[in-house]
Structures are given as C-alpha cells and as structure tokens.
C-alpha cells in the first residue's frame, strides 16, 4: 500500500507552517507491505507548528491530507473506501 501524508498542503512547500518532528519535512511517504493474516500496521508521526514569527499567515487553516493507493502493477486488486482523506479541526 502506498501511503502519503501532506501537512499544510495548501501552501507552497517552502512556506508550510507544520512540519514532522522526525525530519522537519512537511510530508511523509512510505510503501507499506501488507500480507494476509498479519497484524495491523501502525505508524505514529508527531508534527509541530513552526514559530509564528517565521510566517505571515496566521488565520488560514492548516490542511492535512492522507492519500492511500495501491502500488502500480497490482493487477486484480481494488482499494475500497476513501483514498484521499481530509479533515479540518479547530482547536
């Protein structure tokens, strides 16, 4: 399964306000190997907001997206459900 997380995806890459703690990047991409009968696979990612002095836009929401797709060349397989998930939470 091909998984991609984008933080603050509505902004250009160099001006994104949210970054991942592990590598200070606004995105995460992994190919997840799933096999029948194996336990669920879980990834925990920690993100942070850059210091507000580093950016001007403090009012627009920080949009996050998670995309799931089957790798190219997966004949006969179908991914059911939403393949792009977006959420907006006010805190």
The per-residue pLDDT for range 13-31, each reduced to its tens digit, is: 888 999 999 999 999 999 8
Instruction: Please give the pLDDT value at position 61.
Output: 83
User: pTM of the prediction?
Assistant: 0.76
What fold characterizes domain 1-34+44-90? Answer: Immunoglobulin-like (2.60.40)
pLDDT 10s digits, 69-84: 887 777 777 777 665 6
pLDDT of the residue at 53? 85
32-51 pLDDT tens trace: 887 888 888 888 999 999 98
Contact between 91 and 64 under an 8 Å Cβ cutoff? The reply is no
CB distance 85 to 66 below 8 Å: yes
Q: Which residue spans within the chain are E strands per DSSP?
A: 2-7, 18-20, 27-31, 47-49, 64-69, 84-87
Domain ranges of the chain: 1-34+44-90
pLDDT tier at 88, thresholds 50, 70, 90: low
């Amino acid at each position: 399964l091909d998984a991609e997380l984008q933080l603050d995806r509505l902004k250009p890459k160099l001006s994104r306000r949210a970054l991942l703690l592990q590598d200070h990047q606004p995105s995460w991409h992994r190919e997840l190997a799933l096999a029948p009968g194996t336990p669920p696979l879980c990834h925990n990612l920690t993100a942070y907001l850059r210091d507000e002095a580093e950016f001007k836009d403090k009012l627009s929401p920080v949009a996050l997206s998670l995309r799931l797709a089957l790798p190219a060349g997966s004949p006969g397989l179908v991914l059911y459900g939403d393949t792009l998930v977006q959420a907006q939470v006010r805190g």
